[in-house]
Copies of this chain bind each other. A is one copy, B any other.
Amino acid sequence: MQNVRTDLAIEMHEMLMEAADELSGVTVRQEQKDNVHISRISIESLAAQRKMGKPIGHYITVEFQGVNIAEGEDYEALCRVVAKELSGLLSLKEKSNVLVVGLGNQNITPDALGPQVVSKLMVTRHLLEYIPDQIDEGIRPVCAISPGVLGTTGMETGEIVRGVTDKIRPEAVVVIDALAARSMDRISTTIQICDTGISPGAGVGNKRKALDKSTLGVPVIAIGVPTVIDAATITADTLKLAADTEKAKTDSKLYEALSDLDLDEQYEILKNALPDTLAGFMVTPKEVDLLIERVSKVVANGINLALHKNITFSDIDAYIS
């Protein structure tokens, strides 16, 4: 099950629950606000951490499949939900400064979520330093960087971010990243916010690669949005649907064979069968440019509203110009 490629705690939880009736050390609370669904998952034990493949901590999932996030009231309401959930995890003192880090390669659209969010932020640290008199009460010092990716910088992102935090000394770091999901209908319709940072390999504090409290020395909140799905996932899902369809037919050998295998076995067989060349491929919606443009605006404004007190959407628009 550990092989199944999803960065979403909620999907991992669903898969585990399909296989077993209970999962100790994990609590889930659900909430519905109009057409936005919020799930709060806590991973509370090392055993649960191992099973979930994600470190002990809090994972909030905001789902908005039916919402038009282009503009207007629903869009603004959604930004406020993100802001509120982010504020809850951040719990910042007034005036403390925050560094936002946009991970990913801005030249590969589905990976460009982080840099796109950073480009839409109200960055203020320099203004509070150089022209403090012209800046409103409630504006917090915020700085931001898109450090690029290993392949184009030759440096681990963790090295760059630690170098910058050592100089800037923020009181919290917010990290933005594009995620992979199992389910196609989550692409750009789900935002995950967690307080465990980004840790390649569950719970291990790899000093070169991790962006978390153990490596940066301050709380690290990660915000992620699924933008791609895994090719093995698509194959497995299609096969499952094929089996369901075949089920109706009496005497379908395919259904019989497939129903003999549990999902894990199937995924394992398919994953191993996947051609190596597919490793460099991604499965992504055709309108991925537009989807990422829009969801990055929701994430950015969620952050803007969470970090700066009493600002309005007009303030943000006037500011970004």
- A contacts, CB < 8 Å to B: 68, 70-72, 107-109, 111, 118-119, 123-127, 141-148, 150-156, 159-160, 162-168, 184-185, 229, 231-232, 234-235, 237-239, 241-242, 244-246, 253-254, 256-258, 260-261, 269-270, 272-275, 277-278, 280-287, 289-290, 294, 313-314, 317-318, 320-321
B residues in contact with A272, CB < 8 Å: 242, 245
Residue in contact with A164 in the complex, picked from B164, B244, B280, CB distance below 8 Å: B164
Judge whether A281 and B274 touch: CB under 8 Å: no
Residue in contact with A145 in the complex, picked from B155, B261, B283, B284, CB distance below 8 Å: B155
B residues in contact with A144, CB < 8 Å: 152-154
Given A70-B320, A273-B245, check contact A143 B154 (CB 8 Å).
Answer: yes
Judge whether B68 and A152 touch: CB under 8 Å: no
Judge whether B71 and A108 touch: CB under 8 Å: no
In the docked arrangement, what's the CA distance between A206 and B217, Å?
Answer: 28
Given A253-B260, A282-B283, check contact A146 B145 (CB 8 Å).
Answer: no
In the docked arrangement, what's the CA distance between A277 and B187, Å?
Answer: 11
Q: Which of A118, A125, A160 has its CB near the most chain B CB atoms (within 10 A)?
A: A160
In the docked arrangement, what's the CA distance between A161 and B17, Å?
Answer: 47
Q: How far is the CB of A38 from chain B (nearest CB, A)?
A: 23
Q: How far is the CB of A166 from chain B (nearest CB, A)?
A: 6
Residue in contact with A274 in the complex, picked from B107, B124, B238, B269, CB distance below 8 Å: B238
Q: How far is the CB of A275 from chain B (nearest CB, A)?
A: 7
B residues in contact with A274, CB < 8 Å: 238, 241
Given A160-B167, A245-B269, check contact A126 B107 (CB 8 Å).
Answer: no
B residues in contact with A234, CB < 8 Å: 231, 234-235, 278
Residue in contact with A159 in the complex, picked from B154, B167, B238, B320, CB distance below 8 Å: B167
In the docked arrangement, what's the CA distance between A145 and B164, Å?
Answer: 12
Q: How far is the CB of A266 from chain B (nearest CB, A)?
A: 8
Q: How far is the CB of A170 from chain B (nearest CB, A)?
A: 10
Given A257-B258, A287-B280, A317-B70, check contact A237 B126 (CB 8 Å).
Answer: no
Judge whether B294 and A125 touch: CB under 8 Å: no
Q: Which of A72, A153, A166, A313 has its CB near the most chain B CB atoms (within 10 A)?
A: A153
Given A164-B163, A168-B159, check contact A289 B108 (CB 8 Å).
Answer: yes
- 16 residue pairs A–B, Cβ–Cβ below 8 Å: A68-B314, A70-B321, A108-B289, A125-B155, A142-B154, A143-B155, A144-B154, A160-B167, A162-B167, A184-B281, A241-B274, A242-B269, A253-B256, A254-B261, A281-B286, A287-B321
Judge whether B153 and A289 touch: CB under 8 Å: no
Given A160-B145, A167-B160, A168-B155, check contact A282 B280 (CB 8 Å).
Answer: no
